[in-house]
Chain A
C-alpha cells in the first residue's frame, strides 16, 4: 500500500445502518460510489471486501476516552489507546483532560493532539480541563485551548466534579464564546467521601462505603438549572441512575440545552458484581442496580440520553490486583462498547442500527463540534470514516488479548455479540479482517484531509 495512490476499497453487499445491501466504493478518502450490488463503478486496483451480512456504520466517535498520556504511559499511550479505539470501530475520540500534566493549557492539549496525529489511528480531540489542575478552584485558560491547534470545544474536569456552583456557572457562560460545552462529572464530593460502590442493599451487606445516587442527581439538577439560567450548553458525563435520567428528561422537556451520555458498562452491569470484591468492577460512577440499568436503557432508547461514551479507563495490573478500597476506579471499554450496545439495545429490539449510529457517532460528533468531519451520513461524497460490523459473530472477551495496553475489562470471560470487521479513517483501513492494520500506524495525516 502506497500513500501516493491510496488504496481504494469496494465493500460488496454491506448494509448501511442495517438496511438493504449495497456496494460501496471508498476512494480518495471519500465514499466515491454507493449503489445496488453490481451497479457501481469500481476503480482499478480497488480491494474487494466481501461485506455480505455486515452492517456499515459511520465511524464511531467517543466523547469520553482516557488515553493516559502524558503521565501514565504504563496504563495507556495515545498510540495504544487510539489503536484500541480503531479496533473497536472508532474513528475519533475525545481524550479526557486528567493527564499529568493536566490538559489545562494550550501547550498540553496541542501535545496530545499531535500525538494523536502521529499515531494516525483515529482523530484525537483533546478535552480541556475546566479548572487549573482539575483543582476546582480557578478556571483554566479555556479560550487559549479553544484557539489552539487542538481547537478544543469540550471542557471537563472528569474524574472530579466542578462542584463550586459559581465556578460552574462561570464555565458554562464562558465557553459560549466559542460554542464550547462543559461536560460535567456529576459527583457531589461531600456525599461521596470515601465512597466505594453504589449505596444500597449490596453495600450494606458487604460493608463498602456507599455512593448515593443523590450525589450524582443533585449535581445534575443544579447544573441543568444553571444552564437554563445562563442559556448555556451542558453535557452530563456517564449518568448512571434512574433519577438522573428523570432529571435530564425533565430538563429537555423544559427546552434546556442539555445532552447526556451513558457508558456501555452502566447499560449492563450492576452492583451485585461487587460481592466478590473484584476491583475490576470498581468504577466511577459506580455500577448501580438492575432498576437503574433498565432506566438508562430506556433513556437511551427514547433519546433522553443522547450518546453512549466508553469512559475507557485503562489501569495497570497493580492498580487493580489489590484490595477493593485501594484499587483505582475505571474499566476499559473501547473494544467492547459496540458489542455491549448491540447486546443490550439492538438484540433486544429497543434500537435499530440507525439508532446505534446516532448514539455512537452522529450525536457525539455534534456535541463535540466535530460533525463537519465525523458522524457524517453513509452517503456519496462523504468522508470515508466508516465501521463495518459483523453482527452475527460472537466473541469471548479476554483482557490480555485486547489491543489496549491494559487488561481491566469487566467483560473478561463473557461472550459478547458483534465484531468490528473493518474500520476506515478517511478511506484508509485501520482495521481489516478484524485485525488492526499496523502499516497504517505512524502515518501522519491531516485531520482535515479529505473532509469537506
Chain B
C-alpha cells in the first residue's frame, strides 16, 4: 500500500488487513511501554491546511508510538488562495526527505494531487480532503463497530476482541446528518459497504447530495422511521456545521430546534434501538444539536473509544504504508 487516499475502491482484503493490524496495534497500547521500534528512522510529516487538533494529535501519537520522527507542518493561512502553495510545500517536503505525508486540506482532491502530481514520492495518507474522504475515520469507525458487534467486546470495552479476520456482513448502520458536506459519510458508505454492512443515510433532503443514487446505500429523510423500522445495529451521528443553518435563503434547514427535533439523537431515540446497538460520532460534538448529552454519555455510546481506536488504526495505516519494500529511488533520496 503506497497511499491511503480513499475508501472507495479499497479492496475488502486490504480493509480487513488494516483492521486486523489495528487490532494488534491496539493490543500493544495497553502495555506499560507503548512504544514500538517499527518505524525508527522514518519521517512522517503532518501537513495540516485545516485546524484539526484532534486529528493531528491522533496521527502524531500513532507515528510516535511507532518511533517515527514526526514533523508538524501547519500550513493554515497559506492554503487555497495562493495557487502554488500545495506544490511548493510538496517540493519542500520532498527535499526534506519525508517518508510519509499525512495531509488535511479543505480542498477535495488535495491528497490525491499530492500523491499523483509528481511533486513528491512519499506515501500520502489522507487525513481529510474537503468534502471528499477521510479514510482513517471510516476505518476507526468500522474497527469500533467490529470490536463491539462482531468481536464481542462489551459496552464496558473490557471483553476480548475475537473479530480478527471478520467483516461486518449483515450489520446495519445508520449515518445521520449533513451527508452533503461530509467526508466522513462518503468514507463510511464505501468502506462499510465493502465490509458487507448495510448503510442507510438519514438526512433532510437539502443535505443529501444530488447524485447519491450511485452510492451503495439507501437514503431516508426520517430518523424515527429508520430507527423503529430498520433497527440499525449502529448509529453514526455526523457533526452539523454552524454555517449550514445561517446564510438566510441559503440555509439548509429552518432552525437548529427543528433540526434537533427531527434529526437529533437523544435518549428517547436510543431506547428504540436494539440492546446491542452502539452510537458513534466522529467528534467534535455539538451537544444539544445533533446529539443530546444523555445519548453522548450513555453506556452504549462508543464515542470516547473511537478516539482511542483512532490511534491504533492510524498506527496500522502508517505501518502498512511505510514498512513495505522501498524502491532504489527512495533509497537515493534518503541518502545523506
Contacts and interface: CB of A to CB of B under 8 A. Distances in A.
The residue among A199, A201, A202, A323 with the most chain B CB atoms within 10 A of its own CB is A323
B325 to A, nearest CB: 26
A196 B130 CA distance: 12
B334 interface: no
A416 B164 CA distance: 53
A164 interface: no
Contacts of A208: 108-109, 130-132
B131 to A, nearest CB: 4
Contacts of B106: 325
B60 interface: no
A276 to B, nearest CB: 7
Interface residues of B, number: 35
A193 interface: yes
A210 B112 contact: no
A381 B66 CA distance: 82
A206 B132 contact: yes
A193 B243 CA distance: 15
A209 B82 CA distance: 20
A205 B87 contact: no
A200 B80 contact: no
Interface string A319-333: 101111111000000
Contacts of A45: none
Contacts of B212: 204
Nearest to B189: A205
A204 B80 CA distance: 21
B87 A204 contact: no
A134 B97 CA distance: 47
Contacts of A209: 131
A178 interface: no
A203 interface: yes
B105 A323 contact: yes
Contacts of B214: 201, 204-205
A3 interface: no
Contacts of B83: 318-319, 321-322, 326-327
B230 interface: no
Contacts of A199: 210-211
B133 A207 contact: yes
Nearest to B209: A204
B120 to A, nearest CB: 14
A277 interface: yes
Interface string B123-134: 000000111110
B51 to A, nearest CB: 17
A180 interface: no
Contact of B210 (A200, A323, A326): A200
Interface string B64-104: 00000000000000001111111100000000000000000
Contact of A326 (B81, B183, B209, B249): B81
A200 B83 CA distance: 27
Which 4 residue pairs across A and B have the least CB separation, nearest first?
A277-B109, A204-B211, A207-B132, A207-B131
Given A200-B210, A206-B109, 14 more contacts: A193-B250, A206-B132, A207-B129, A207-B133, A208-B108, A208-B109, A209-B131, A210-B209, A276-B116, A277-B109, A277-B110, A277-B112, A321-B83, A326-B86
6 contacts: A201-B214, A205-B215, A206-B108, A318-B83, A321-B117, A326-B81
